[in-house]
């Protein structure tokens, strides 16, 4: 290791701590840096990097667990676009230690963990080690991906990285041998898997950190047609491959404005693959729509074009297919050509219209185009006036050097809107990006009729609450996980306390005085929330609707905050906290309720039988649904906890459309 590399690394960590990336704790800043640099070639966003963290109690010695399918991070198996053939599955495991050596004890813990975690024959309940929910969820995702992709798995690799501030040239023999043993355990767990173990020290992290994305590149061409600042080129496939590659890796950062990820080898991409591997005639560009590049400047010199601020907005499928074609032999030449359009403009509205138009020419999910929606651009503009940079296009501002304190993601502001405007903080806790695929839920959150000024106020309230909660965070709980659980209900109560009602409007929120979000205010709510009983464990309680309603009711009672039903009605039922129900009442409702699906009006019969009010009945039913005794039901359709249809009342519902028979809509709660 170069003599001063550890000093340089500590300086980088100092910078991260000062901007709280991801927090002001040195070990967390180091861990995030390690994840970011080790996975640099995959160009992950901050949210994606943090989603891979499993660090904490019962982590089995693993701090980061990342599953990549064809180079794209797998977070939610349900919403992931699975490739149909020739798939590359890669797993990256990272353990981070802020110490300045590489220790054998760290590797011993990993060996014990992987020996059973990677034995998929062992069910979670039978594992001898005690592992966190986050780690087991990653294991389940890997099991699912491995099983689903097995018929079309072209390669499977696992990379285990041990990152520290140590010197990789000074690793003891026993420690190095342990690293090799880890790789052998992984390879023995799978039939055809390439595993590698890497020690990543101060020098390696500094070197990776110095690698800066290059957005100004030169592309040789065979022919070119130019009109003003618009260019149509024919570039050799081998030249285009070098243009999109960096040390054997795809420059994924060039695709941040592309609305789609690589769709896998579907029918279209299979055709591209066959064309690439086929005979040299006809030429490739005859059979392919080509690539569209947006740039802020471009200039032709001789037989090449110099392009600045490159964003490939259309042609990701073509580009990845070309990259994969050359992967087996990067030095190969191919004189066939690909069609490349280069459009120069700095006007954001024009750039967005080009992105939408070029990506609407083939079948794309509507949700994938939301980045260019008017409401998204409006939110970006209004936040920009408040010194905040809205990442509607992944990493767009991050790669311009803006600090995390300046960046805001769509998911962050959406969750804030859900908590503070729609008054459903429990839903904000569990919000995932897949909600944007549902036009109804997307439209309810990103409501164009809502006053635009509410977005900066929502963001400011959340960020101020985050800053104060961070000072209260227990040292053994990670920042991102802690804040996600506590910020929404805390923010809601602070705002409602000012207005003395939970039924404040979005326009009321705009006028909320930010000076009221003080450390004392946050700590006071934190203490009151902490004293309340919660039924889902200490850190998971505020993702429960029942817990949130109980908290709003109890704290509202003490502080004189009225209209708790504004929160309850947003959640579609419960208006009475469970602790205010008579003893044994929930069990009485359970015994009185017939098997599902229930018929309309059934609640009236039970209320008459038990002599109770409907709101008490609904409170008990909500608790029983949360406990898994009953399923949520709407218009004769039963849904599980993930929103999947489980069963229908065939007398009332058409199973093919899920609509009430003889009706064109579904709108009532059973």
Using left for φ > 0, alpha for ψ between -120 and 50, and beta otherwise, residue 636 falls in left
Closest CA to 356 of 292, 414, 309, 310: 292
Phi, psi torsion values for 406, nearest 5 degrees: -95, -15
129-141 pLDDT, tens digit each: 999 989 999 999 9
> Taking residues 634-659, what's their average pLDDT?
76
Rounded Cα distance between 99 and 104, Å, is 13
pLDDT band for position 268 (cuts 50, 70, 90): low
Rounded Cα distance between 496 and 503, Å, is 8
Q: What is the pLDDT of residue 663?
A: 53
Confidence check: pLDDT of 389 > 80: yes
Instruction: Find out whether 442 and 366 touch, Cβ atoms under 8 Å.
Output: no
Is 311 strand, coil or helix?
A: strand
Q: Which range is least confidently modeled, 266-270, 334-338, 541-545, 593-597? A: 266-270
Rounded Cα distance between 614 and 181, Å, is 63
**Which residues 6+ apart lie within 8 Å of 225 measured at CB?**
231, 232, 233
Instruction: Find out whether 561 and 500 touch, Cβ atoms under 8 Å.
Output: yes
Q: Which residue has the tokens 């064309």?
A: 275
DSSP string, 570-608: HTTS--S-GGGSPTTHHHHHHHHSPSSSPPTTHHHHHHH
Rounded Cα distance between 539 and 478, Å, is 11
Q: What is the DSSP letter of 649?
A: -
More confident residue, 379 or 370: 379
Rounded Cα distance between 143 and 383, Å, is 41
pLDDT band for position 506 (cuts 50, 70, 90): very high
Confidence check: pLDDT of 231 > 90: yes
Rounded Cα distance between 20 and 403, Å, is 9
7-35 pLDDT, tens digit each: 999 999 999 998 888 888 899 999 999 99
Rounded Cα distance between 107 and 127, Å, is 19
170-215 pLDDT, tens digit each: 999 999 999 999 999 999 999 789 999 999 999 999 999 988 888 8
> Taking residues 611-621, what's their average pLDDT?
82
Closest CA to 114 of 51, 193, 42: 193
Q: What is the pLDDT of residue 662?
A: 67
Instruction: Find out whether 419 and 425 touch, Cβ atoms under 8 Å.
Output: yes
Quick one: which H or E segment has residue 33? helix 26-38
> Taking residues 616-640, what's their average pLDDT?
81
pTM of the model: 0.68
Domains of the chain, residue spans: 5-210, 217-368, 373-571, 583-660
> Taking residues 223-240, what's their average pLDDT?
94
Rounded Cα distance between 655 and 649, Å, is 8
> Taking residues 258-279, what's their average pLDDT?
62
Quick one: which H or E segment has residue 531? none
Confidence check: pLDDT of 273 > 90: no
CA distances from 537 to 371, 534, 541, 542, 547 (A): 37, 7, 6, 10, 11
Q: What is the DSSP letter of 641?
A: T
More confident residue, 232 or 663: 232
418-463 pLDDT, tens digit each: 999 999 999 899 887 777 777 778 888 999 999 999 999 999 999 9
> Taking residues 359-381, what's their average pLDDT?
66
Instruction: Find out whether 562 and 497 touch, Cβ atoms under 8 Å.
Output: no
- What's the start-to-end Cα distance of the chain, in Å? 68
DSSP string, 407-459: EE-HHHHHHHHHHHTS--HHHHHT--GGGGGSHHHHHHHS-TTS-TTHHHHHH
Per-chain mean pLDDT for the chain: 85
Percent of the chain with pLDDT over 70: 89
Confidence check: pLDDT of 54 > 50: yes
CATH architecture classification, 5-210: 3-Layer(aba) Sandwich (3.40)
484-502 pLDDT, tens digit each: 999 999 999 999 999 999 9
Phi, psi torsion values for 219, nearest 5 degrees: -120, 115
Quickly count helices (H) and strands (E) in the chain.
24, 22
């Amino acid at each position: 290791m170069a003599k001063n590399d550890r000093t340089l690394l500590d300086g980088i960590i100092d910078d991260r701590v000062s901007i709280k990336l991801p927090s002001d704790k040195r070990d967390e800043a180091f861990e995030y840096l390690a994840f970011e640099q080790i996975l640099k070639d995959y160009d992950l966003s901050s949210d994606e990097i943090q989603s891979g963290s499993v660090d904490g109690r019962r982590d089995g010695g693993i701090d980061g667990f990342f599953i990549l399918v064809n180079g794209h991070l797998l977070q939610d198996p349900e919403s992931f676009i699975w490739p149909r053939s020739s798939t590359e599955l890669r797993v990256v495991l990272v353990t981070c230690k802020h110490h300045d050596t590489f220790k054998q004890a760290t590797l011993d813990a990993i060996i014990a963990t992987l020996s059973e975690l990677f034995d998929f024959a062992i069910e979670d309940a039978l594992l001898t080690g005690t592992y966190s929910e986050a780690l087991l969820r990653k294991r389940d995702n890997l099991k699912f991906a491995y099983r689903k992709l097995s018929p079309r798995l072209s390669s499977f690799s696992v990379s285990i990285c041990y990152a520290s501030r140590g010197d990789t040239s000074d690793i003891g023999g026993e420690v190095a041998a342990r690293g090799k043993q880890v790789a052998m355990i992984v390879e023995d767990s799978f039939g055809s898997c390439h595993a590698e173990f890497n020690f990543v020290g101060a020098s390696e992290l500094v070197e990776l950190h110095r690698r800066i994305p290059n957005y100004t590149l030169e592309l040789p061409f065979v022919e070119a047609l130019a009109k003003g600042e618009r260019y149509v080129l024919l570039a050799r496939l081998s030249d285009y491959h070098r243009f999109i590659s960096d040390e054997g890796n795809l420059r994924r950062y060039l695709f941040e404005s592309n609305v789609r990820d690589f769709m896998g080898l579907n029918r279209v991409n299979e055709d591209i693959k066959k064309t690439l591997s086929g005979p040299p005639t006809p030429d490739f560009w005859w059979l392919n729509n080509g690539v569209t590049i947006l740039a802020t400047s471009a200039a032709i010199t001789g037989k090449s074009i110099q392009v600045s601020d490159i964003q490939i907005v259309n042609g990701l499928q073509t580009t990845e297919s070309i990259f994969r074609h050359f992967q087996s032999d990067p030095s190969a030449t191919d004189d066939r050509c690909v069609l490349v359009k280069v459009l120069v403009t700095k006007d954001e509205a024009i750039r967005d219209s080009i992105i939408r138009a070029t990506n609407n020419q083939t079948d794309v999910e509507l949700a994938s185009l939301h980045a260019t929606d008017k409401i998204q651009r409006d939110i970006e503009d209004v936040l920009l006036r408040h010194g905040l940079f809205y990442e509607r296009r992944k990493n767009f501002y991050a790669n311009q050097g803006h600090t995390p304190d300046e960046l805001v993601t769509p998911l962050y502001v959406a969750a804030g809107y859900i908590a503070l405007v729609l008054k459903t903080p429990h839903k904000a806790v569990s919000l995932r990006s897949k909600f944007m695929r549902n036009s109804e839920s997307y439209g309810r959150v990103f409501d164009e009729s809502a006053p635009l000024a509410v977005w900066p106020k929502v963001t400011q309230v959340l960020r101020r609450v985050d800053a104060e909660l961070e000072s209260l965070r227990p040292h053994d709980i990670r920042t991102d996980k802690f804040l996600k659980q506590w910020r929404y209900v805390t923010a809601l109560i602070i705002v409602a306390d000012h207005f003395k009602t939970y039924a404040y409007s979005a326009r009321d929120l705009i006028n909320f005085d930010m000076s009221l979000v003080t450390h004392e205010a946050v700590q006071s709510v934190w203490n009151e929330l902490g004293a309340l009983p919660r039924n889902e464990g200490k850190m998971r309680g505020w993702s429960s609707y029942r817990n949130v309603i109980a908290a709003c009711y109890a704290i509202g009672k003490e502080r004189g905050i009225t209209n708790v039903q504004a929160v309850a009605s947003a959640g579609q039922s419960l208006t009475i906290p469970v602790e205010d129900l008579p003893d044994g009442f929930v069990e009485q409702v359970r015994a009185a309720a017939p098997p599902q699906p229930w018929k309309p009006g059934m609640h009236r019969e039970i209320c008459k039988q038990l002599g109770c009010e409907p709101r008490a009945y609904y409170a008990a039913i909500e608790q029983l649904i949360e406990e898994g005794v009953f399923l949520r039901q709407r218009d004769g359709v039963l849904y599980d906890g993930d929103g999947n249809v489980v069963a229908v009342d065939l007398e009332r519902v058409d199973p093919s459309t899920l609509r009430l028979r003889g009706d064109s809509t579904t709108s009532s709660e059973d």
